[in-house]
């Protein structure tokens, strides 16, 4: 499959979880999800924690605002941290994030860790404690999801299609033939979700790109599978890996340029205003985007950038 934007692994996870956040909550914390109005999810900009102890500067991976279903429909925050490597101080950092968010926003916080290494068990509440002179002064708990300990063959058939994407980073079958079969089963699940309207093209592409990144086939395996499916009259690979990828590739360079322009505007002017976004949306040709980058690099203000040249 074409890797469209060569997105960093951490960003890939964040994009997937943000696009499927309601499914993520239902899949891994159904009791909490049942008490939330998941139609009200909105995401904060990356939360920078400059006020945690020791002068560390950290950025939370995902912070979502959600309203509850009960009572006065209280607003809460859900903080999801993605941790790639085992780190002794990670439980303490989860508590620090919680403490800062709770104090800064004065809102209840649901802390969740998604770890990409084997923990104690697949899904469990982890606890961080502090003791003084043998007395427990602080007890803090958070939900931890250790993806490598979860059974990929179980999640690929989950009610939520997100399971088919995340199956590629869960515990895989030992035999390579079974791994290839899992890759195909994941693609078929995504195709089914697309055909039945559970996901749109953009979210389906995120899933397919995730599967191709974390459970890849080499060229020989892909060609052998493609020929086999073609003989069976099964168009799963063409529908998922080829059709979506090529369609997205046509727009990939422009998306990359737009992302670069937004980054430049934030660096120059501190933010991207609605007016700048509207102007950017109206630029559909590569040469116009290139010219806009050039103007953005030298403009003294956003107003000057957006003022048409005489």
What is the pLDDT, as a whole number, of residue 66?
95
- Return d(Cα 182, Cα 180) in angstroms, integer: 5
Q: 195 versus 72: which is more confidently predicted?
A: 195
pLDDT band of 245, cuts 50, 70, 90: very low
Give the other-Cβ count within 10 Å of 89's Cβ: 11
Report the percent of the chain where pLDDT is more than 70. Answer: 83
Q: 241 versus 17: which is more confidently predicted?
A: 17
Instruction: Find the angle CA(81)-CA(88)-CA(54) to the nearest 5 degrees.
Output: 80
- Return d(Cα 108, Cα 114) in angstroms, integer: 20
Q: What is the mean pLDDT of residues 126-142?
A: 95
pLDDT band of 49, cuts 50, 70, 90: low
Give the other-Cβ count within 10 Å of 187's Cβ: 24
Per DSSP, 239 falls in state: I
Short-list 263, 269, 28, CA closest to 142: 28
**Half-sphere exposure of residue 253, counting CA atoms within 13 Å on the CB side?**
7
pLDDT at 50 over 70: no
Q: What is the pLDDT of residues 175-233, one digit of tens each?
A: 999 999 999 999 999 989 988 999 887 788 788 888 988 998 888 988 888 888 888 88
What is the pLDDT, as a whole number, of residue 77?
95
Long-range contacts of 135-141 (CB under 8 A, 24+ apart): 138/95, 140/94, 140/95, 140/98
Short-list 41, 43, 36, 76, CA closest to 60: 43
pLDDT at 89 over 50: yes
pLDDT band of 75, cuts 50, 70, 90: very high
Q: What is the pLDDT of residues 58-67, one digit of tens each?
A: 666 889 999 9
Give the other-Cβ count within 10 Å of 119's Cβ: 18
Phi and psi torsions of 183, nearest 5°? -55, -45
What is the pLDDT, as a whole number, of residue 38?
94
């Amino acid at each position: 499959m074409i890797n469209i934007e060569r997105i960093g692994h951490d960003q890939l996870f964040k994009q997937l979880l943000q696009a499927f956040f309601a499914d993520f909550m239902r899949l891994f914390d159904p009791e909490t999800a049942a008490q939330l109005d998941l139609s009200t999810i909105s995401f904060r900009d990356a939360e920078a924690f400059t006020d945690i102890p020791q002068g560390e500067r950290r950025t939370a991976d995902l912070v979502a605002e959600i309203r509850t279903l009960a009572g006065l429909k209280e607003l809460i925050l859900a903080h999801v941290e993605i941790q790639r490597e085992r780190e002794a101080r990670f439980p303490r950092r989860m508590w620090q994030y919680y403490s800062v968010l709770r104090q800064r926003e004065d809102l209840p916080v649901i802390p969740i860790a998604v770890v990409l290494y084997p923990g104690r068990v697949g899904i469990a509440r982890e606890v961080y404690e502090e003791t003084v002179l043998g007395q427990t002064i602080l007890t803090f708990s958070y939900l931890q999801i250790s993806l490598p300990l979860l059974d990929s063959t179980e999640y690929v058939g989950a009610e939520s299609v997100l399971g088919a994407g995340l199956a590629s980073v869960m515990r895989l079958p030992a035999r390579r033939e079974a791994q290839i079969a899992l890759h195909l089963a994941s693609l078929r699940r995504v195709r089914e979700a697309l055909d039945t309207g559970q996901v749109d093209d953009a979210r389906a592409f995120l899933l397919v790109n995730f599967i191709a990144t974390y459970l890849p086939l080499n060229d020989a395996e892909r060609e052998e599978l493609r020929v086999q499916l073609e003989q069976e009259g099964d168009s799963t690979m063409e529908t998922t890996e080829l059709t979506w990828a090529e369609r997205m590739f046509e727009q990939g360079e422009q998306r990359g340029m737009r992302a670069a322009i937004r980054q430049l505007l934030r660096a120059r002017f501190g933010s991207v205003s609605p007016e700048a976004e509207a102007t950017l949306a109206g630029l559909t040709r590569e040469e116009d985007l290139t010219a806009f980058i050039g103007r953005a690099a030298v403009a003294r203000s956003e107003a000057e950038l957006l003022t048409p040249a005489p």
